[in-house]
Chains A and B, each alone.
Chain A
Amino acid sequence: MFKNHIKIAWRSLRKQPFFTFLNTFGLAIGMAGALLISLYIHDELSFDKTFADAERIYRIDTDIKFGGAEMRSAEAAAPMAAAMQKDFSQVESTVRFRDRGSLLLRKTGTEANTKELRVSFADSTLFDFFGIELLVGDANTALEQPNTMVLTKTAAEKHFGVDNALGQTMLLNNSDTYTVTGVIDDLPKNSFLREHTVFMAMSGYADAQLINWGSNNYYTFVKLIPSADVADFQEPLEGMLDTYMLPWAQQHFPGITKKSFIEAGNYLRYHTMALTDIHLYSNRDSEMSANSSIQNIYILSFIGFFLIVLACVNFMNLSTAYSLKRAKEVGVRKTLGSNKMELIRQFLTESGLISFISLLVALILTMVVLPFFNELSGKAVSIPFSNTIFWGVLLLATILLALLSGSYPAFFMSKFNPVKTLKGGAQSSVGGGNIRNTLVVFQFTITVFLIVSTLVVFQQLNYIQSKDLGFSKGQIVLVEDIFAVGDRLASFKEEVLKIGDVKNATISYYLPTPSSRSNSSYFMEGAMTQENAIQMQTWNVDPDYIGTLGMELVAGRNFNKQYATDSTAVIINEATLKVLGMNAEEALGTQISQDIDLERPQFYKVIGVVKDFHYESLRENISALGLFWNQTPGILAAKISPGAYTETLAELENVWETFAPGQPFNYRFMDDSFNTTYEAEQRLSKIFIIFTVLSIFIACLGLFGLAAFNAQKRTKEIGVRKVMGASVSQISYRLTVDFLKLVGIAILISLPLGWYAMDKWLQDFSYRIDIPWWVFLLAALLAVGVAILTVSYQSIKAAIVNPVKSLRSE
């Protein structure tokens, strides 16, 4: 019987190629979309779970308020790990990382450096702690000795390969010599360590050995013993304020007590963050690697779910619609003795067949678009062909899909009354119009919602990118790793300025795009007490900084080489004025200092106020910032004439070669660097667009099929009306307007939903757009336009048919 079902199913699908195509194609696209999203989400959820004992590993986070602003750090103090190991019996082992950013690396005796983007000091427990195996070297001793280092395979192969690595010596940043004691495999892409290529022994880093509870610069991980419960951990963790932090503070800020500490509004809280939660739930000031957020996972899950639902709805709609054609078959089968169950089975076989064909098409589609999707999402996901669980889930999902989308049409059709259908009155016996209409409304509600969301995301991104940031990021080239120039910094800058198309240049570590940050507490002269601390960004710059970056002084003056005293001057931003509670005129001439515990503090005099500029993402408010005149290496920012990029870059590289021969010339444009701040949003918006287009497409496929069906069902009516004198345009209008009503209802439902959801999303941004009214108008027009295009083809086709054909006596 089953074989017969399959045979019949196959034939009836072939008999209606248009219907089969719409159904298969719609379903396949929905499935492919959902499959891509599932792979993406699976990858996101798998983060850091590959490490041994991952479920027992926690990171220690610090919330601190000491003076002005609050810090939510993902790092802890240097002595934290040792103290926890000593005091807490639940702690099995610990490991710390101290981030060094990027550095230059070369084999001793060679000239050419490579740039390693992510380097950290790490405790020797690293490998045992995370279960990382060494390809060569001994895991227990590899990072024990000072000035030893472990490379990843990729990093090692740049210089000497894996097999010859042990015992090689390397020069870091052209100065420190390190010995290679091990090589590990490249770290998994789905881990917080994915960017790391080099680990250096923490034992050689002096700061790590100091007992300093005041600064939190160490990513600290603890592994609990299997029987431990992390909840029991919170209380003793809070006790560390009394046991360690306050005694240390009293040495450096005499007279401070717990009471005065708390009364001044200060706090210090430690938290545990599960390793496996970091990627999706942690959003702290100094994350070790860029994290995603669970919110994006939710959004994507919804979209994936919607795609499948849309495709299912299509299937149901088309199937019930086309059942008109099969009413007679049902009638004949029933009179020949088929019972209802048998018919249901027959129709489910058909939907099963379609689902499996769609699955095949979906897999092919997915394989084709996967490379593009990976590029878009910045991932390296692949279809796990050899994974039996994957296939199991896929097959199960497909069967479920077939049942879900096939059951309604099956029950619907199996109920046909054989007497009526055989008499030829099929039109009146096929109902289900209301359900079909509801489903169309539902589809378009989702579609319009997605259109609104996409438009708003785009508006917001556009706003961010075109907002007046308080500085100009155009035509600025950033040359990195200027320290390679050594002590000839000043003459290097002079040479750069001699290049014809370089208008201005400045050197600093600190830029309003992702770069170094340094936050410190300052005190106003005359208010040198802990309660009056001002948390302020401390940026060392040179006098050309404001000019090069096109910032604006609202009061006072820039640094000037004529005044020797300007080395102890500071230019503050407007946000600092707010914290100080002064206007610009009052602030000029006042003095600030960091040195609360010195008898003769070093004061800095405010000589200017710079207009607020955005130096963090627009999700953040602008906070207090001070520019100090200090010659530091770091990044050279050069403003160049528009249109002269290639030549200017070549000349810049020439200068670089003279000053830093053999060192890599790393440059980027500030525009690009700025854009990376919003990479997450940009990706999200691109993903949004793709899936919005997909969902519109699927909804249109369904509408197209339904319009075809509707025109067919109303053949008689169209014929009668034409005989009565209706014109082609009157008929097509009539057929189209019915669908437009449904789309209209969908628009009415989805616009408020869209407004609500996007308003929520925008709350994440400190600087955001008001959702403009035309977004809704545009979304509505788009939906209506697409619907008209889809439906009118069928409507016009139906309207130009000669009524003689349609009214031929039945």
Chain B
Amino acid sequence: MLLQLKNIFKWVNSGGQRIFLLKDINLEVAEGEFISVMGPSGSGKSTLLNVIGMLDTFDEGEYNFLDESVHTLKEKHRSNLYKEYIGFVFQSYHLLDDLTVQENLEMPLLYKKFKGSERKAMVADMLDRFNIVGKKDLFPAQLSGGQQQLVGVARALIANPKLILADEPTGNLNSQQSEEIMELFKKLNQEEGVTIIQVTHSEKNAAYGSRIINLLDGRKV
């Protein structure tokens, strides 16, 4: 068992009313799964992903990640936990504009205190694996959307996470680029055993996963 959510509630108070973003979510994710989270806009997909990624807190319930109870952990331990085990992929890539491809890839390693030589090797390895060696000195603005997302995925993978969280990873891409990214996810999942949770609107993309979770108004349906 990689992670387990038990009766998770999350809400905000607005105008004297309590609005639920997540309502009584129960979820177990085993290592090696490839899960797609679906639902209409505002149904809580991204919120769920952020809670799983420990970027956001929840108001009620329990969350265990690799036998650690996340809800009792201090901020610092939490960030150490996700730093080590989780990689993020975003819809709008969120590469840093002022850094080259190579530097973007290297950034997470800096925060994980890898040595210079190790970082170099890991970046080179990743560039190799994703076939982007030739683009290592380019800036994000010089790449197409698909290429940028490729770098985004590479960055998420570089520190060998157990779990990849992808929030509409193909939302800004055309169909051909989308397919390439999804193929990549599938390959990572099947060949390397990386657990993936993705948020998507597209039935086609969802079909790449091994399990689909549907959300409506913060509730699992």
Contact = CB atoms under 8 A, between A and B. Distances in A.
Interface of A: 427-428, 716-717, 719-721, 723-727, 730, 802-804, 807-810
A807 B94 contact: yes
A724 B157 CA distance: 11
Interface in B72-112: 79, 82-83, 88, 90-92, 94-98, 107-108, 111-112
B50 interface: yes
B180 interface: no
A725 B92 contact: no
A363 to B, nearest CB: 45
Contact of B55 (A717, A730, A804): A804
B128 interface: no
Given A428-B97, A804-B50, A809-B168, A726 B111 contact: yes
Interface in B130-169: 141, 155, 167-168
A622 to B, nearest CB: 64
Contact of A720 (B82, B91, B94): B94
B56 interface: yes
25 contacts: A428-B141, A716-B94, A717-B98, A719-B94, A720-B95, A720-B96, A721-B96, A723-B55, A723-B94, A724-B83, A724-B107, A724-B111, A725-B82, A725-B83, A726-B111, A727-B79, A804-B50, A804-B55, A807-B90, A808-B46, A809-B46, A809-B91, A809-B168, A809-B171, A810-B92
A556 B167 CA distance: 99
Contacts of B55: 723, 802-804
Interface residues of B, number: 26
Q: Which of A717, A724, A730 has its CB near the most chain B CB atoms (within 10 A)?
A: A724
B96 A809 contact: no
A647 to B, nearest CB: 68
A490 B74 CA distance: 89
B14 to A, nearest CB: 16
B192 to A, nearest CB: 21
Nearest to B141: A428
Contacts of A428: 97, 141
A727 B111 CA distance: 8
Given A717-B97, A721-B111, 12 more contacts: A720-B95, A720-B96, A721-B96, A721-B107, A723-B94, A724-B83, A726-B111, A727-B79, A804-B50, A804-B56, A808-B46, A809-B168
A720 B148 CA distance: 15
A804 B10 CA distance: 15
B111 A725 contact: yes
Contacts of B111: 721, 724-727, 730
A725 B79 contact: yes
Contacts of A723: 53, 55, 88, 94
A725 B56 contact: no
Minimum-distance CB pairs A-B, first 9:
A725-B83, A725-B111, A724-B108, A720-B94, A804-B55, A804-B56, A726-B111, A804-B50, A809-B91
Contacts of A720: 94-96
Contacts, number: 50
A725 B96 contact: no
Contacts of A804: 50, 55-56
Contacts of A802: 55-56
Q: Which of B88, B94, B112, B168 has its CB near the most chain A CB atoms (within 10 A)?
A: B94
B54 to A, nearest CB: 10
Contacts of B98: 717
Contacts of B88: 723
Interface in B16-74: 46, 50, 53, 55-56
B92 A809 contact: yes
Contacts of A808: 46
A727 B56 CA distance: 16
Contacts of B83: 724-725
A725 B112 CA distance: 7
B140 to A, nearest CB: 10
B108 A725 contact: yes
Nearest to A424: B92
B108 A809 contact: no
A725 B94 CA distance: 14
Contact of A717 (B91, B96, B167, B168): B96
Nearest to B49: A804
Contacts of B91: 809
A274 to B, nearest CB: 62
B116 to A, nearest CB: 17
A809 B167 CA distance: 9
Q: Which of A428, A723, A727 has its CB near the most chain B CB atoms (within 10 A)?
A: A723
B53 to A, nearest CB: 8
A727 B92 CA distance: 23
B217 to A, nearest CB: 19
A802 B54 CA distance: 11
B107 to A, nearest CB: 6
B141 to A, nearest CB: 8
Nearest to B172: A809
A711 to B, nearest CB: 15
Contacts of A719: 94
Nearest to A809: B91
Q: Which of A725, A727, A804 has its CB near the most chain B CB atoms (within 10 A)?
A: A725
A808 B55 CA distance: 12
A427 B96 CA distance: 12
A182 B210 CA distance: 114
Nearest to B113: A725
A60 to B, nearest CB: 72
A717 B56 CA distance: 18
A662 to B, nearest CB: 84
B132 to A, nearest CB: 19
A754 to B, nearest CB: 34
Contacts of A807: 90, 94
Nearest to B82: A725
A800 to B, nearest CB: 10
A726 B168 CA distance: 24
A717 B46 CA distance: 20
Nearest to A723: B88
Nearest to B75: A728
A717 B93 CA distance: 12
A807 to B, nearest CB: 6
Nearest to B50: A804
B56 to A, nearest CB: 5
A716 B93 CA distance: 11
Contacts of A810: 92
Contacts of A716: 94
Nearest to A806: B94
A722 to B, nearest CB: 8
A719 B107 CA distance: 13
A721 B96 CA distance: 9
A724 B88 CA distance: 8
A734 to B, nearest CB: 11
Contacts of B56: 802, 804
A723 B55 CA distance: 8
A727 B168 CA distance: 26
Contacts of A725: 79, 82-83, 108, 111-112
Nearest to A428: B97
B86 to A, nearest CB: 9
A442 to B, nearest CB: 24
Contacts of B94: 716, 719-720, 723, 807
B139 to A, nearest CB: 11
Nearest to B108: A724
A690 B79 CA distance: 48
A154 B202 CA distance: 96
Nearest to A427: B97
Contacts of B97: 427-428, 717
Contacts of B108: 724-725
Contacts of B141: 428
Q: Which of B55, B98, B107, B155 has its CB near the most chain A CB atoms (within 10 A)?
A: B55
Interface in B155-194: 155, 167-168, 171
A723 B56 CA distance: 11
Contacts of B95: 720
